Structure 1
């Protein structure tokens, strides 16, 4: 995929009024954007289950040289599982909370992702998008924090912000989502429940898979698609809020409408990825309101283009896009948004 980056229409020239509120933007969206459609929601579930089943079948019958394609398809379809659970976490899948919680837990099982843990921590990201020291998704390190770290941690961070970006989601999953202390005391039992659910699933599924297909079967049917899923998770999350001219703001300067409208990136991916992942990369309207179901995101985005187009940041997935991000967007810089590792080390001498 070697398509060019589509720069913002007039991002540098367009300014948002400090008095602008999120609800002012939301009032311009069609009311239909916020309406749940159970037929569309459950159709997405059925189709996604069929696609994941097709993916596993392709892994079972594919000759060795076609396995990478089967893993790519299956891992991308499993990312669709996550997006369905994502809607459940935001209560935009079903009207009943218990349905959202049940479906969310089920669809995160193959990913070994604790549903409530992800849901609660992800809501923090939505409430404080691009706010320094608060946002928990791809926040750049401050230079002084980076300088004070052991060399090994610095090198790991360089990898996660550089060419190894696709592993960052695994690190985030392992560090953040199995620790109940990261949420308020009143929610910790929910975290413990979700962790118990996925640990119990893994304790049954993994030994069964090894017993029937051997350790190679575990790698072939679970690990490789799981790594593809984390490639997309890392890529989607990084691209959603990262560009050389999209800034993280100090808490006292943070402006909700600016962060959610102009600090969130719309990125076009290949049609197959968009379809299997339920349009989650139509991300600007999702950050304006998590109540918009995934199947209504494109409708909402077209409305935003018509009314707020000068403030939208739109790009297209390509190696050049990822190279730009991973070459430049490393450390926090108050005036220039980001400072690269190279520039930082040159300044230090």
Structure 2
């Protein structure tokens, strides 16, 4: 249910829920505040992600770390980023502090994520987020913190894990290395084609078509309920540039291995070059990094 709320709020953020901006904003605030997401703060950074997908320096969320940034990570940050299950809880941290190498917060109107005319929208969304948090505290006082933890906390944790796993796998872990671009080598089409569709088995049927990520990046204005049809229409046009997803059984257990392997080997990209690929830390074996701290 949390995922359903997120997908509908996600459509609102892209303007594909309604033709009326005020209705997208109203519904988006209601839905995203329910799952502790600051609507405008997330909407603006997510728009930046779509406008710069596949760009090493300008992409937002799950973008690659440069070698210099990677080597500057402290051990705790490295562990939380690259060791399962910690990255599966990254979303709240990302909302608060963004990714390593980037500054700002989705909650603060003065963050460099936002333009001056967006500060008012960000403030409203942060107030809505705080109101939801206050409501949860009131419910904890009335019904007890354990009841709120069972009814809200556990589903929220599962939602966060699923969100991080899904979004990561749509940009990492393909059997052929995915390029990342800089400078003149980057363009919108090239960036969109670095994304990957995934097959989630029977979960596809109840998952609001999130497996169709390539077409979503090519045309983010398409609502979620039309993505499967749009993907079928686009595949003959894309031809060899479309990466067919690996077929899943009833449950997508194969994606767990792909996720773990990608986090183990996709560490950083070169500091220089206009077309780069993920590299593996050559010094990494066992807890060598911990010993070197």
Q: Check the 8 A contact 2:180/2:276 in 1, yes or no.
A: no
Residue deviations 1:279-298 (CA, integer Å, cap 9, x gap): 12211111111111111100
Unaligned runs of 5+ in 2: 98-104, 247-251
Q: TM-score normalized by structure 2?
A: 0.84
Cα separation, 2, equivalents of 1:153 and 1:228: 22
- Deviation, 1:147, is 1.5
**8 A Cα contact 1:163 1:326, kept in partner:** no
Question: Which of structures 1 and 2 has the larger relative contact order (alpha carbons within 8 angstroms, sep 6+)?
Answer: 1
Match of 2:200 among 259, 264, 269: 269
Counterpart for residue 280 of structure 2: 340
- Give the Cα–Cα distance (whole angstroms) in 1 for the partners of residues 94 and 179 of structure 2: 21
Query: How many residue pairs get matched?
Result: 266
| Structure 1 residue 123 displacement after superposition | 0.3
Structure having the higher helix fraction is 1
RMSD: 2.1
Q: C-alpha distance in 1, partners of 2:241/2:4?
A: 29
Residue of structure 2 equivalent to 1:120: 44
Match of 1:179? Answer: 108
Correspondence for 1:93: 17
- Return the index of the structure with the highest Cα Rg: 1
- Name the structure 2 match of 1:78: 2
Change (3 A) 1:303 1:194: same
> Could you tell me how far apart the structure 2 residues matched to 1:240 and 1:191 are?
27
Aligned residue in 1 for 2:257 = 320
1:13-36 Cα offsets, whole Å, 9 max, x none, are: xxxxxxxxxxxxxxxxxxxxxxxx
Task: Decide which of 197, 222, 233 is 1:303's aligned counterpart.
Answer: 233
Tell whether the 8 Å contact from 1:266 to 1:282 is kept in structure 2 after alignment: yes
Distance in 2 (CA, whole Å) between partners of 1:164 and 1:331 is 18
What is the correspondence of 1:139-288 to structure 2 with a 5 Å cutoff?
Answer: 139-159=63-83, 162-175=84-97, 176-180=105-109, 181=111, 182-203=113-134, 205-243=135-173, 245-260=177-192, 262-272=193-203, 274-288=204-218
> Per-residue CA shift, 1:122-166, capped at 9, x if unaligned?
00000000101110120121111222233333333333xx54221
CA distance in 2, matches of 1:242, 1:122: 18
SS at match of 2:37: coil
Q: 1:5-154 counterparts in 2 under 5 A?
A: 77-154=1-78
* 1:227 to 1:138, Cα distance in 2 relative to 1, 3 A: same
- What residue number does 1:6 align with? none
TM-score (norm 1): 0.71
**Structure 2: how far apart are the matches of 1:158 and 1:322?**
10
- Structure 2 distance, partners of 1:281, 1:243, is 15
Distance, in Å, in 2 between the alignment partners of 1:271 and 1:102 is 32
